[in-house]
Protein backbone atom coordinates (compact mmCIF):
# COMPACT_ATOMS: atom_id res chain seq x y z
CA UNK A 1 0.00 0.00 0.00
CA UNK A 2 1.50 3.39 -1.05
CA UNK A 3 1.58 6.38 1.30
CA UNK A 4 -1.35 8.22 -0.33
CA UNK A 5 -3.60 5.15 -0.22
CA UNK A 6 -2.65 4.56 3.39
CA UNK A 7 -3.47 8.15 4.31
CA UNK A 8 -6.80 8.01 2.47
CA UNK A 9 -7.73 4.85 4.33
CA UNK A 10 -7.00 6.59 7.62
CA UNK A 11 -8.93 9.75 6.81
CA UNK A 12 -11.93 7.91 5.32
CA UNK A 13 -12.78 6.77 8.86
CA UNK A 14 -13.18 10.36 10.03
CA UNK A 15 -16.46 12.28 9.95
CA UNK A 16 -17.45 15.87 10.58
CA UNK A 17 -18.34 15.12 14.20
CA UNK A 18 -14.67 14.39 14.87
CA UNK A 19 -12.96 17.48 16.31
CA UNK A 20 -9.93 17.39 14.03
CA UNK A 21 -12.02 17.01 10.88
CA UNK A 22 -14.65 19.58 11.90
CA UNK A 23 -12.00 22.20 12.59
CA UNK A 24 -10.57 21.83 9.07
CA UNK A 25 -14.02 21.88 7.50
CA UNK A 26 -15.08 25.18 9.11
CA UNK A 27 -11.83 26.97 8.30
CA UNK A 28 -13.48 27.68 4.95
CA UNK A 29 -15.93 30.61 5.29
CA UNK A 30 -18.23 29.53 2.45
CA UNK A 31 -18.56 26.03 3.90
CA UNK A 32 -19.30 27.43 7.34
CA UNK A 33 -21.85 29.76 5.75
CA UNK A 34 -23.65 26.83 4.17
CA UNK A 35 -23.76 25.00 7.52
CA UNK A 36 -25.16 28.02 9.38
CA UNK A 37 -27.70 28.71 6.63
CA UNK A 38 -29.09 25.24 7.24
CA UNK A 39 -28.98 25.57 11.03
CA UNK A 40 -30.70 28.96 10.88
CA UNK A 41 -33.00 27.92 8.00
CA UNK A 42 -32.05 31.11 6.23
CA UNK A 43 -30.72 30.81 2.67
CA UNK A 44 -29.95 34.54 2.46
CA UNK A 45 -27.58 34.65 5.45
CA UNK A 46 -24.11 35.99 4.62
CA UNK A 47 -21.02 35.47 6.72
CA UNK A 48 -18.16 37.94 6.73
CA UNK A 49 -15.83 35.86 8.93
CA UNK A 50 -15.29 32.29 10.10
CA UNK A 51 -12.67 31.09 12.55
CA UNK A 52 -12.02 27.55 13.75
CA UNK A 53 -10.62 26.74 17.21
CA UNK A 54 -11.20 30.29 18.34
CA UNK A 55 -9.20 30.87 21.53
CA UNK A 56 -10.64 33.12 24.24
CA UNK A 57 -7.86 33.81 26.74
CA UNK A 58 -8.87 35.37 30.04
CA UNK A 59 -6.23 36.60 32.44
CA UNK A 60 -6.68 35.01 35.85
CA UNK A 61 -9.79 33.05 34.90
CA UNK A 62 -10.69 29.93 32.91
CA UNK A 63 -9.97 30.30 29.20
CA UNK A 64 -11.76 28.40 26.46
CA UNK A 65 -11.26 27.30 22.86
CA UNK A 66 -14.43 27.37 20.76
CA UNK A 67 -14.81 24.95 17.86
CA UNK A 68 -16.04 27.64 15.46
CA UNK A 69 -16.99 31.30 15.73
CA UNK A 70 -18.54 33.17 12.80
CA UNK A 71 -20.03 36.61 12.21
CA UNK A 72 -22.61 37.61 9.61
CA UNK A 73 -23.10 40.89 7.76
CA UNK A 74 -25.53 42.08 10.46
CA UNK A 75 -22.85 41.60 13.15
CA UNK A 76 -24.54 38.56 14.68
CA UNK A 77 -22.21 35.95 16.11
CA UNK A 78 -22.49 32.18 15.78
CA UNK A 79 -20.68 29.65 17.93
CA UNK A 80 -20.79 26.01 16.82
CA UNK A 81 -19.62 23.29 19.19
CA UNK A 82 -19.49 19.57 18.28
CA UNK A 83 -19.49 16.83 20.88
CA UNK A 84 -19.40 13.04 20.55
CA UNK A 85 -19.26 11.94 24.21
CA UNK A 86 -21.42 12.78 27.22
CA UNK A 87 -19.04 13.98 29.91
CA UNK A 88 -19.82 17.53 31.00
CA UNK A 89 -22.50 20.03 31.98
CA UNK A 90 -23.06 21.31 28.46
CA UNK A 91 -25.65 23.95 29.29
CA UNK A 92 -23.23 25.64 31.69
CA UNK A 93 -20.51 25.28 29.07
CA UNK A 94 -22.73 27.16 26.61
CA UNK A 95 -23.41 29.80 29.24
CA UNK A 96 -19.67 30.25 29.77
CA UNK A 97 -18.99 30.45 26.05
CA UNK A 98 -21.67 33.13 25.69
CA UNK A 99 -20.23 35.28 28.46
CA UNK A 100 -16.73 34.94 27.00
CA UNK A 101 -17.94 36.00 23.56
CA UNK A 102 -19.68 39.05 25.02
CA UNK A 103 -16.52 40.05 26.89
CA UNK A 104 -14.20 39.45 23.94
CA UNK A 105 -16.16 41.26 21.25
CA UNK A 106 -17.58 44.15 23.27
CA UNK A 107 -15.77 47.46 23.08
CA UNK A 108 -15.26 49.57 26.19
CA UNK A 109 -18.09 52.06 26.79
CA UNK A 110 -20.61 50.27 24.57
CA UNK A 111 -24.28 50.48 25.58
CA UNK A 112 -25.92 47.19 26.52
CA UNK A 113 -28.48 47.70 23.76
CA UNK A 114 -25.60 47.48 21.29
CA UNK A 115 -24.52 44.01 22.38
CA UNK A 116 -24.67 41.73 19.32
CA UNK A 117 -27.01 38.76 19.07
CA UNK A 118 -25.25 35.47 19.75
CA UNK A 119 -26.41 32.08 18.49
CA UNK A 120 -24.96 29.09 20.32
CA UNK A 121 -25.24 25.78 18.45
CA UNK A 122 -24.43 22.54 20.26
CA UNK A 123 -24.20 19.58 17.85
CA UNK A 124 -24.00 16.21 19.55
CA UNK A 125 -23.98 12.49 18.83
CA UNK A 126 -26.50 12.03 21.66
CA UNK A 127 -29.96 13.38 22.43
CA UNK A 128 -29.07 15.65 25.35
CA UNK A 129 -32.65 16.20 26.52
CA UNK A 130 -33.88 12.70 25.57
CA UNK A 131 -37.21 13.98 24.31
CA UNK A 132 -37.02 12.53 20.80
CA UNK A 133 -36.41 15.80 18.95
CA UNK A 134 -33.72 16.64 16.42
CA UNK A 135 -33.60 20.31 17.42
CA UNK A 136 -34.18 21.95 20.80
CA UNK A 137 -34.47 25.74 21.14
CA UNK A 138 -33.85 26.82 24.71
CA UNK A 139 -35.60 30.10 25.58
CA UNK A 140 -35.86 32.46 28.57
CA UNK A 141 -39.39 32.91 29.90
CA UNK A 142 -41.11 34.65 32.79
CA UNK A 143 -42.33 31.90 35.10
CA UNK A 144 -45.43 33.78 36.26
CA UNK A 145 -46.75 34.75 32.82
CA UNK A 146 -45.04 32.37 30.42
CA UNK A 147 -43.99 35.34 28.29
CA UNK A 148 -40.76 35.00 26.34
CA UNK A 149 -37.92 37.34 27.36
CA UNK A 150 -35.29 38.04 24.72
CA UNK A 151 -31.75 39.11 25.69
CA UNK A 152 -30.14 38.38 22.33
CA UNK A 153 -28.65 34.99 23.29
CA UNK A 154 -30.10 31.94 21.55
CA UNK A 155 -29.22 28.36 22.49
CA UNK A 156 -29.94 25.62 19.96
CA UNK A 157 -29.15 21.97 20.70
CA UNK A 158 -29.10 19.58 17.74
CA UNK A 159 -28.37 15.86 17.73
CA UNK A 160 -27.60 13.11 15.23
CA UNK A 161 -29.72 10.47 17.00
CA UNK A 162 -33.19 11.66 16.01
CA UNK A 163 -34.20 11.95 12.35
CA UNK A 164 -37.30 14.13 12.00
CA UNK A 165 -37.01 14.24 8.20
CA UNK A 166 -35.89 17.88 8.17
CA UNK A 167 -33.02 19.44 6.25
CA UNK A 168 -31.15 19.85 9.54
CA UNK A 169 -31.54 16.13 10.31
CA UNK A 170 -30.29 15.31 6.82
CA UNK A 171 -27.21 17.44 7.37
CA UNK A 172 -26.59 15.78 10.73
CA UNK A 173 -26.70 12.39 9.00
CA UNK A 174 -23.98 13.64 6.67
CA UNK A 175 -22.02 14.83 9.72
CA UNK A 176 -21.92 11.23 10.98
CA UNK A 177 -21.44 9.54 7.59
CA UNK A 178 -19.19 12.02 5.81
CA UNK A 179 -18.54 10.32 2.49
CA UNK A 180 -19.38 11.27 -1.08
CA UNK A 181 -20.99 14.44 -2.39
CA UNK A 182 -24.40 15.51 -1.16
CA UNK A 183 -26.71 17.53 -3.47
CA UNK A 184 -28.24 19.47 -0.56
CA UNK A 185 -24.86 20.51 0.84
CA UNK A 186 -22.55 21.05 -2.16
CA UNK A 187 -19.92 23.23 -0.46
CA UNK A 188 -19.80 21.10 2.69
CA UNK A 189 -19.48 17.82 0.83
CA UNK A 190 -16.97 19.30 -1.64
CA UNK A 191 -14.82 20.36 1.32
CA UNK A 192 -15.13 16.87 2.82
CA UNK A 193 -14.07 15.20 -0.40
CA UNK A 194 -11.15 17.61 -0.79
CA UNK A 195 -9.68 16.24 2.44
CA UNK A 196 -10.61 12.64 1.64
CA UNK A 197 -9.79 12.37 -2.06
CA UNK A 198 -7.59 15.22 -3.34
CA UNK A 199 -3.87 14.55 -2.81
CA UNK A 200 -3.10 17.99 -1.38
CA UNK A 201 -6.10 17.87 0.95
CA UNK A 202 -5.32 14.33 2.08
CA UNK A 203 -1.76 15.35 2.93
CA UNK A 204 -2.98 18.41 4.84
CA UNK A 205 -5.55 16.44 6.82
CA UNK A 206 -3.10 13.63 7.48
CA UNK A 207 -0.65 16.11 8.96
CA UNK A 208 -3.32 17.48 11.28
CA UNK A 209 -4.32 13.99 12.41
CA UNK A 210 -0.70 13.04 13.08
CA UNK A 211 -0.11 16.23 15.07
CA UNK A 212 -3.29 15.64 17.05
CA UNK A 213 -2.20 12.06 17.79
CA UNK A 214 1.16 13.31 19.07
CA UNK A 215 -0.50 15.89 21.32
CA UNK A 216 -2.97 13.31 22.59
CA UNK A 217 -0.12 10.91 23.37
CA UNK A 218 1.72 13.66 25.28
CA UNK A 219 -1.39 14.56 27.28
CA UNK A 220 -2.13 10.90 28.01
CA UNK A 221 1.45 10.28 29.16
CA UNK A 222 1.33 13.39 31.34
CA UNK A 223 -1.96 12.29 32.87
CA UNK A 224 -0.61 8.81 33.61
CA UNK A 225 2.51 10.31 35.21
CA UNK A 226 0.43 12.66 37.36
CA UNK A 227 -1.81 9.79 38.45
CA UNK A 228 1.21 7.67 39.38
CA UNK A 229 2.80 10.55 41.30
CA UNK A 230 -0.41 11.06 43.25
CA UNK A 231 -0.55 7.32 44.04
CA UNK A 232 2.98 7.57 45.49
CA UNK A 233 1.97 10.53 47.65
CA UNK A 234 -1.12 8.65 48.87
CA UNK A 235 0.94 5.55 49.68
CA UNK A 236 3.41 7.63 51.69
CA UNK A 237 0.59 9.35 53.55
CA UNK A 238 -0.92 6.00 54.48
CA UNK A 239 2.41 4.94 56.02
CA UNK A 240 2.42 8.08 58.16
CA UNK A 241 5.40 9.75 56.48
CA UNK A 242 5.99 13.40 57.41
CA UNK A 243 4.66 15.96 54.95
CA UNK A 244 8.09 17.61 54.70
CA UNK A 245 9.66 14.27 53.74
CA UNK A 246 7.00 13.58 51.11
CA UNK A 247 7.55 17.08 49.70
CA UNK A 248 11.29 16.50 49.48
CA UNK A 249 10.88 13.14 47.72
CA UNK A 250 8.12 14.10 45.28
CA UNK A 251 8.69 17.82 44.76
CA UNK A 252 5.06 18.49 45.73
CA UNK A 253 4.38 21.57 47.85
CA UNK A 254 3.20 21.10 51.44
CA UNK A 255 -0.12 22.76 50.52
CA UNK A 256 -0.72 20.32 47.68
CA UNK A 257 0.14 17.33 49.88
CA UNK A 258 -2.20 18.61 52.58
CA UNK A 259 -5.02 18.81 50.04
CA UNK A 260 -4.37 15.24 48.87
CA UNK A 261 -4.26 14.13 52.52
CA UNK A 262 -7.60 15.80 53.18
CA UNK A 263 -9.22 14.19 50.13
CA UNK A 264 -7.67 10.78 50.88
CA UNK A 265 -8.79 10.50 54.47
CA UNK A 266 -12.16 12.09 53.76
CA UNK A 267 -12.80 9.15 51.42
CA UNK A 268 -11.63 6.69 54.06
CA UNK A 269 -13.92 8.20 56.69
pTM for this model (two decimals):
0.75
Same-domain status, 136 and 246: no
Same-domain status, 184 and 240: no
Same-domain status, 181 and 264: no
Same-domain status, 9 and 139: yes
Structural domain contains residue 206? no
Same-domain status, 224 and 186: no
The pLDDT assigned to 34 comes to: 98
Structural domain contains residue 211? no
Structural domain contains residue 47? yes
Give the range of the structural domain holding residue 260, as residue numbers without chain letter.
219-268
What distance in Å separates the CA atoms of residue 149 and residue 139, rounded to the nearest whole number? 8
Same-domain status, 155 and 29: yes
Question: For residue 250, what are the CA distances in angstroms to 226, 239, 246, 264?
Answer: 11, 15, 6, 17
Domains in the chain: how many in total? Answer: 2
Same-domain status, 94 and 128: yes
Residues 6+ apart with CB under 8 A from 47: 29, 32, 33, 36, 70, 71, 72, 73
pLDDT in tens, 9-23: 677 788 899 988 899
Structural domain contains residue 112? yes
Structural domain contains residue 229? yes
Same-domain status, 72 and 154: yes
Strand order in the sheet with 118-124: 47-56, 64-72, 77-83, 118-124, 153-159, 135-138
What distance in Å separates the CA atoms of residue 267 and residue 157, rounded to the nearest whole number? 37
Same-domain status, 25 and 119: yes
Structural domain contains residue 172? yes
Structural domain contains residue 204? no
The pLDDT assigned to 208 comes to: 62
Instruction: Of 66-80, 118-132, 148-162, 207-221, give the lowest mean pLDDT range.
Output: 207-221
Same-domain status, 191 and 255: no
The mean pLDDT value for 222-229 works out to 73
Same-domain status, 263 and 171: no
pLDDT in tens, 68-104: 999 999 999 999 999 987 777 888 888 888 888 888 7
Same-domain status, 255 and 144: no
Structural domain contains residue 129? yes
Amino acid sequence: MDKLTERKAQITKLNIMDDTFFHKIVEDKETCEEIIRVLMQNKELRLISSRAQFSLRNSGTKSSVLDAVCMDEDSRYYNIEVQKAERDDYQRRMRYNSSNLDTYFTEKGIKYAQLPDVYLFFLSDFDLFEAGETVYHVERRIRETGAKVDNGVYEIYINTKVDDGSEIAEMMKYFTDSNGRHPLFPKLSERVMYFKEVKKGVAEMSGVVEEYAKEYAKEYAKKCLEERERQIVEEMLRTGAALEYISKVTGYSIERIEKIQEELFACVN
